[in-house]
Amino acid sequence: MIALKLILNLFFLVFFTISFIPFLISADGQNNYQRNDILDIINEMKDDEKYLDAQVNIGEINLRADVAVTELQKQKGLSIKESLEENEAMLFVFQIPYKQSFWMKDMKFPIDIIWVNENDKIVHIESSLQPCSTWTLFCTSYHPPHEALYVLETVSGFTNNYDIKEGDEVYFTLIRHNVTQTD
């Protein structure tokens, strides 16, 4: 039983490592850095370095998002945090549109997950997803019915509280690259 769990965890670790090969550029093309500069920053980062920081706009709503860049950051996602504020998020940017799959393994609190396509439109939302214990043999995977280029994780209830829905536009801007790592 333990061996099966270890094999499954290894499978998901490899899957997420392969799936999370990002490049970072603003969805609206108006980022603070040029694309090549951002790719250089990402390529030079080590697993123990800080998260990138982005401004996320959904209509009139503004969020500050940690952008997971290194493989270790992407694998851990929000599981590194004990909680999340209403105006905080984590942003994942992918190299190509795909039906990106996420799970709640090792999470300490519920979240909403928002998938956004290459045209800056929300294509799917999963709300109030509950954590999956490390002792659980299988964690549910969540994925959109349509391809997405970006995934935004927010505090649970965010999409309902702000009436966020499929078709809404989302914009990202990298605001700095030397951010203090969060707890």
Give the separation between CA 101 and CA 92, rounded to whole angstroms: 12
Give the phi and the psi of residue 83 in degrees, each rounded to 5. Answer: -160, 175
The rounded percent of the chain whose pLDDT value lies above 70 is: 67
- The residue written with tokens 């929300």 in the block is 122
pLDDT at 23 over 60: no
Q: Is 84 in contact with 154 (CB distance < 8 Å)?
A: yes
Q: Could you state, in order of their start, the residue ranges of all structural domains in the chain?
A: 2-176
Q: Which of 63, 35, 36, 34 is nearest to 159 (CA)?
A: 63
CA dihedral 8→42→183→142, nearest 10 degrees, is: -40
Superfamily in which the 2-176 domain is placed by CATH: Protein of unknown function DUF192 (2.60.120.1140)
Say which residues have a Cβ less than 8 Å from residue 93's Cβ, sequence separation at least 6.
22, 23, 24, 25, 67, 149, 150, 172
| Secondary structure (3-state) at 42 | helix
Q: Which of 52, 139, 145, 122 is nearest to 91 (CA)?
A: 52
**Total residue length of the chain:** 183
Give the separation between CA 11 and CA 108, rounded to whole angstroms: 22
**99-156 per-position pLDDT tens digit:** 988 888 888 899 999 999 999 999 999 999 999 876 667 888 999 999 998 899 999 9
The percent of the chain in helix, strand and coil, each rounded to the nearest 5, is 25, 35, 45
Read off the pTM.
0.71
pLDDT at 40 over 90: no
The rounded percent of the chain whose pLDDT value lies above 90 is: 39
